[in-house]
Structure 1
Amino acid sequence: MGEEEQHQNSTESFMAMKAGLGQAIEVISSLISLSHSIKVFSVKWQLIRKKLEELNSGLMAAENCDSSQNTQVFSGLIPSVLVTANECHNLARSCADLSYSGKLLMQSDLDVMIARFDSHVKNLSGIYSAGILSHGFAIVVSRPGLGAGKDDMRFYIRDLLTRMKIGDIEMKRQALVNLYQVVDEDERYAKLVVEVGGIVNVLVGFLDSPEMEIQEEASKIVSLLSGFDLYKGVLVGAGIIGPLVRVLENGSELGKEGAARCLQRLTVNSDNAWSVSAHGGVTALLKICSSGEFGGELIGLACALLRNLVGVEEIKRFIVEEGAISTFIKLARSRDEIVQINSMEFLQNMASGDDSVRQMVVREGGVRALVRVLDPKSSTSSKTREVALRAIENLCFSSQSCINMLMNFGFINQLFFLLRNGEASVQELALKVTFRLCSASEEAKKAMGDAGFMPELLKLLDAKSYEVREMATEALSSLVSVPKNRKRFVQDDRNVGFLLQLLDQEDGISGNKKLLLSILMSLTNCNSGRRKIASSGYLKNIEKLAEAEVYDAKKLVRKLSTNRFRSILSGFWHS
């Protein structure tokens, strides 16, 4: 046979194969459509339809083959597919018209169809797996537009499923990339992923893939799905926890991130926390945090996941026994903000309500590490400083020894800096910590008076926020209870005048009246304080309150009217 004749035969065979593919796709598409109208043997027809859709998607991918080298591969497959599809079409018509002769015979015939279509799908899968049909020849089914109907969206998802099942590595990877994109951009696709049988199981299987790219893309998708509460049970039911833990142990950094994020969302339920622990997840997470090999994103996710797990007491004890406290104190010194924040929050969770763990945190150097985060010279973000302040408040105010340690590490000066210069959220938290510290230690109150807290608290007494005004007033009231602080406070005439002026303001009277009067009462314990209050132009404000039968105001006036101040005030105050 001459070269020209061989080329002609090859071309004719290629065209015949293309025509056969087109015919098979047309027949199968028609059969899928017809199957939706069948009301009998619904379970069997659902199985058949699933196989038809997988087969159809695979054949459509092959239809774009532009090389005659694949002709021989399909020469046997296409005719057999057509024979099966035509026979199935006859059965479908009989079921739709209810013209079949017997139920048992029809059930048997349908079982045969299921087995034959399953065989065709496996044969096509074998072609792809062997790399005979390159992904370069496979058409890409266009993603449905924004206004697409559910059927079009489902068809697209089923096409991606087929590619994930029968494609070569690159085709699988690209199908996963496309699936991630649609689920990430449109949550309706997430519902379809769960509804379309087999996809979740395929994704779970891919988590154990030796191909890192496949594993990474699968972990990203299941991480997205775990963000929907409705689908968490589906993922757990598909046996996802074990494969996710194996990704934490052996996967790439990107794969580990997806696995950790997914597990974090799943372990809000303590039952799942047990499952993670049972598969060795705690050990894998501690290794990630202690190895120093990974970036802040992964370590942050590992910390967040461990925070969920320590809600189970037995897991918490295991973590402590593994030496995790010292590991996370080291991470609290990290320059990576995500690592710092998550490690400090983890230490808080571990020590919450557990004095033995709290003491361990203190003993291992946790207090110094937290105070360092607040250093004004550092470039630490406001968010990180907020977390450090909360951790200090939760860990250090329950014992005098911890408070003394804080003071020795320079915490008072750092707290003052944040109260004066911090952003609004940090300043408010610093005020709360100031208030707590005032209530916890006499030595701290003396040190805070020396550091200049009182003028800063005074500025906050007329803040817009009632909570801020209340905390500032209570903190100031606590500070002026110390004789040394009282003397310092009254040295500035403006301080006393400002307090008296606030009593004349409506919101001051209704909100912090009692606390303001308490501060003034404390100030009368020193001679200069009594003298400045009595001689102030705002004294009339106290008199008005006393006339209104405000008990604390009457008490203050009586204090001022004793001895040499008696002549300043009207005698009726003795009533």
Structure 2
Amino acid sequence: MGESSPELSTGESNLGRLVERLSSLLSLSYSIKVFHGKWQLIRTKLEELITGLTSSQNCDLAENTAFLQLIIAILATVNDCYNHAYQCVDLSYSGKLLMQSDLGVISSKFDVHLKSLNGIYTSGILTQGYAIVVSRPSFGACRDDMKFYVNDLLTRLKIGASVMKNQALVALSEVVQEDDKYVKIVIETDEIITLLVNFLEIGDIELQEESAKVVLVIAGFDPYKDVLVEGGIIGPLIHVLEAGTDLGKERASRILQKLTENSENAWSVSAHGGVTILINICTTGEGKGDLINPVFGVLRNLVGVEEMKRFMVEERSISTFVKLMNSTDETLLINAMEFLQLMASGDAHIRQLIIREGGIYSLVRVLDPKSSFSSKARETALKAIDSLCFSSTSALNMLMGYGFLDRVLFFLRNGEISIQELAVKAAFSLSGISEETKKAMGDAGFMPELVRFLDAKSFEVREMAAEVLSSMVWVPKNRKRFVHEDCDIDRVVQLLDPDEVKTGNKRFLISTLMSLTNSNSGRKKIANSGYLKNIEKLAEAEVPDAKKIIKKLSTNRFRNILRGILNS
């Protein structure tokens, strides 16, 4: 075994003595009752030096002359600081102004030492594979221990080389996710936010991604969002969106989504060119659902600001998003439909732009039964059509021309419950267009399907189905079809049971029966129903239309039938 060189032994000895001396000085400083601001600043620098030097205790110090010289220089400053500390403890200094000046000089010397230490680390002179890392406090540790740990991480972020910085970021990410108290400590430690902002802007991918991970946690706390924005975080996040990795972009977009929940921050995103970058990501983002969802989330937040919406229109984003509705990527497709629906809300001009760009065809295409679109995509398309099309005659004509009626009927018959309910809503909107549309719905076979929904679980669906049916049978052609095709008049009468709580749509059912009494065959089928007593009970309860139905059924022609039923 070879002997250690005298220089190495001296370096290790001096380093260990210096760390002990720094720790002792730090402890002594807490007993000082004067010059609080000066000593607080010195304490912060002592903590950074302790962490930085501790991390090098197991590094290879052989032939590192610059580092050994730095140890000696720091030790001299520490000894000088000790003298001033004792004078402050004993109040034995000669004058306040002179002591303040001396402490300022000491603080400046520590600054120089920290910069020198940082330069040594970043130059790669020291091998850090065996660097000592301060242990993370156990869960439930006191705030002082947690703060000391965060300060240790801060020092590593400031003076460590790239590997050490990344390790510190990983550790910081873990603790802020583990305990909210760490988040508050990070916010109170101003330099950490500044460092995170800087790491987002540099080209080191690992530092960029890990910094975004930490910021994402912090952005989840409403009280701290303004701190991030005031710290200048939005510009660097836009930089990551434009030039970062997929993971970096995803995290940056999720952060921006949280920050832009406050509409005031929308302006900062726009000022940094964020709107155009976000739209470009959507245009080229097929297959990247983890990224696309939060990107659209940011855009949805921005479009809530009227000026941002106008800017997007000027940037021809309507055409872009209509094209995305033809994408084979459902993530893009669904987000584009939802976003256009949001943009067009309360804005007739934008609705017309969407129609002009071919949006209606794209929406109806999603409803093609032969296509392989998911239920989610079809539900979104039905909602978008309801929002965009039913207030425009030209849009309605396009809908009908693209076979929308058949699509709605198909999903009334075959869709999942959620889609069927939306199809009922679409039928409700269609029935309010014109008598011709109601005739077309009758010819297509809507009425038997609507009867099936008269006792649906959803009150809204029951109500709409009953109202659509009531509206349709007032058209003579549909009334005749309803009676002669046996569309279950008996079921309609049965649902009028006054004791049946679930129904909740009796006025439209009665209206339907009132219409059916305008034909002889309709009156006959109602009179022959096994549930006619339901109408009689309603008439006795002074329900006007029920009384009218009974009166119509009591004409000379049906009196004998009615008497036989009521006496049975």
Give the whole-Å Cα distance in 2 for the aligned partners of 1:518 and 1:97.
97
Comparing 30-39 with 551-560, greater Cα deviation is found at 30-39
Give the whole-Å Cα distance in 2 for the aligned partners of 1:156 and 1:123.
23
Residue 28 (structure 1) aligns with = 22
Residue 379 (structure 2) aligns with = 386
Give the whole-Å Cα distance in 1 for the aligned partners of 2:334 and 2:536.
52
2:311 pairs, out of 318, 323, 328, with 318
What does 1:70-89 align with in structure 2 at a 5 Å threshold? 71-89=64-82
Q: Tell me which amino acid in the other structure corresponds to 1:433.
A: A
Residue 489 (structure 1) aligns with = 482
| Shift in CA distance, 486/235, structure 1 to aligned 2, threshold 3 Å | same
Residue 561 (structure 1) aligns with = 554
Residue 3 (structure 2) aligns with = 8
Residue 468 (structure 1) aligns with = 461
Mapped pair 1:375 → 2:368 = yes
**Helix, strand or coil: the match of 1:490?**
helix
| Shift in CA distance, 563/60, structure 1 to aligned 2, threshold 3 Å | farther
| Shift in CA distance, 19/563, structure 1 to aligned 2, threshold 3 Å | farther
User: Is the 2:447–2:487 contact (alpha carbons within 8 Å) kept by the matching residues of 1?
Assistant: no
**Helix, strand or coil: the match of 1:350?**
helix
Comparing 325-334 with 424-433, greater Cα deviation is found at 424-433
| Shift in CA distance, 395/143, structure 1 to aligned 2, threshold 3 Å | same
Residue 338 (structure 1) aligns with = 331
Q: Tell me which amino acid in the other structure corresponds to 1:245.
A: I
Residue 347 (structure 1) aligns with = 340
Report how far residue 194 of structure 1 moved.
1.0
1:259 pairs, out of 243, 249, 252, with 252
| Shift in CA distance, 98/341, structure 1 to aligned 2, threshold 3 Å | farther
| Shift in CA distance, 102/360, structure 1 to aligned 2, threshold 3 Å | same
Comparing 389-398 with 430-439, greater Cα deviation is found at 430-439
Residue 124 (structure 1) aligns with = 117
Report how far residue 514 of structure 1 moved.
1.4
Mapped pair 1:408 → 2:401 = yes
Deviations for 1:514-555, whole angstroms, at most 9, x for unmatched residues?
Answer: 122111112223332111001222212211211221112112
Q: Tell me which amino acid in the other structure corresponds to 1:202.
A: L
Q: Tell me which amino acid in the other structure corresponds to 2:3.
A: Q
2:192 pairs, out of 192, 195, 199, with 199
Deviations for 1:207-240, whole angstroms, at most 9, x for unmatched residues?
Answer: 2102233222222322332221111100111112
Residue 241 (structure 2) aligns with = 248
- Unaligned stretches of 5+ in structure 2? none
Residue 170 (structure 1) aligns with = 163
Q: Tell me which amino acid in the other structure corresponds to 1:262.
A: I
Residue 363 (structure 1) aligns with = 356
| Shift in CA distance, 404/34, structure 1 to aligned 2, threshold 3 Å | farther
| Shift in CA distance, 70/467, structure 1 to aligned 2, threshold 3 Å | farther
Q: Tell me which amino acid in the other structure corresponds to 2:224.
A: Y
Mapped pair 1:138 → 2:141 = no
User: Is the 2:64–2:125 contact (alpha carbons within 8 Å) kept by the matching residues of 1?
Assistant: no
**Helix, strand or coil: the match of 1:474?**
helix
Report how far residue 130 of structure 1 moved.
0.5
| Shift in CA distance, 451/160, structure 1 to aligned 2, threshold 3 Å | farther
Mapped pair 1:156 → 2:149 = yes
Give the whole-Å Cα distance in 2 for the aligned partners of 1:293 and 1:500.
53
Residue 113 (structure 1) aligns with = 106
Report how far residue 484 of structure 1 moved.
2.9
Report how far residue 71 of structure 1 moved.
4.5
Give the whole-Å Cα distance in 1 for the aligned partners of 2:31 and 2:417.
64
Mapped pair 1:542 → 2:542 = no
Q: Tell me which amino acid in the other structure corresponds to 2:551.
A: R
Report how far residue 568 of structure 1 moved.
4.2
Q: Tell me which amino acid in the other structure corresponds to 2:362.
A: A
User: Is the 2:285–2:292 contact (alpha carbons within 8 Å) kept by the matching residues of 1?
Assistant: no
Give the whole-Å Cα distance in 1 for the aligned partners of 2:548 and 2:26.
91
Report how far residue 100 of structure 1 moved.
4.3
1:276 pairs, out of 269, 273, 280, with 269
Residue 43 (structure 2) aligns with = 49
Residue 308 (structure 1) aligns with = 301
Identity percentage of aligned residues: 61
Report how far residue 481 of structure 1 moved.
2.7
Give the whole-Å Cα distance in 2 for the aligned partners of 1:299 and 1:355.
27
Deviations for 1:125-173, whole angstroms, at most 9, x for unmatched residues?
Answer: 0111101113323233333332333223222222222222112222222
1:397 pairs, out of 371, 381, 390, with 390
Give the whole-Å Cα distance in 2 for the aligned partners of 1:182 and 1:379.
44
Q: Tell me which amino acid in the other structure corresponds to 1:74.
A: F
Give the whole-Å Cα distance in 1 for the aligned partners of 2:86 and 2:412.
80
Residue 64 (structure 1) aligns with = 58
TM-score for the superposition, normalised by structure 2: 0.92
| Shift in CA distance, 369/141, structure 1 to aligned 2, threshold 3 Å | farther
Report how far residue 94 of structure 1 moved.
4.2
Comparing 377-386 with 234-243, greater Cα deviation is found at 377-386
Mapped pair 1:425 → 2:418 = yes
Give the whole-Å Cα distance in 2 for the aligned partners of 1:467 and 1:94.
81
Give the whole-Å Cα distance in 1 for the aligned partners of 2:485 and 2:30.
88
Q: Count matched residues.
A: 565
1:515 pairs, out of 508, 523, 543, with 508
User: Is the 2:282–2:332 contact (alpha carbons within 8 Å) kept by the matching residues of 1?
Assistant: no
Comparing 52-61 with 39-48, greater Cα deviation is found at 39-48
User: Is the 1:407–1:444 contact (alpha carbons within 8 Å) kept by the matching residues of 2?
Assistant: no
Mapped pair 1:478 → 2:471 = yes
| Shift in CA distance, 181/9, structure 1 to aligned 2, threshold 3 Å | closer
Comparing 367-376 with 283-292, greater Cα deviation is found at 283-292
Report how far residue 266 of structure 1 moved.
1.5
Give the whole-Å Cα distance in 1 for the aligned partners of 2:165 and 2:311.
40
Mapped pair 1:221 → 2:199 = no
User: Is the 2:286–2:332 contact (alpha carbons within 8 Å) kept by the matching residues of 1?
Assistant: no
Deviations for 1:319-360, whole angstroms, at most 9, x for unmatched residues?
Answer: 212221121112122232322222112111221111111111
**Helix, strand or coil: the match of 1:333?**
coil
Deviations for 1:342-381, whole angstroms, at most 9, x for unmatched residues?
Answer: 2112111221111111111011111111122233333433
Give the whole-Å Cα distance in 2 for the aligned partners of 1:484 and 1:348.
36
| Shift in CA distance, 477/293, structure 1 to aligned 2, threshold 3 Å | closer
2:544 pairs, out of 522, 539, 551, with 551
User: Is the 2:428–2:464 contact (alpha carbons within 8 Å) kept by the matching residues of 1?
Assistant: yes
- Unaligned stretches of 5+ in structure 1? none
Deviations for 1:441-477, whole angstroms, at most 9, x for unmatched residues?
Answer: 4444333333433333322222333233222222222
TM-score for the superposition, normalised by structure 1: 0.91
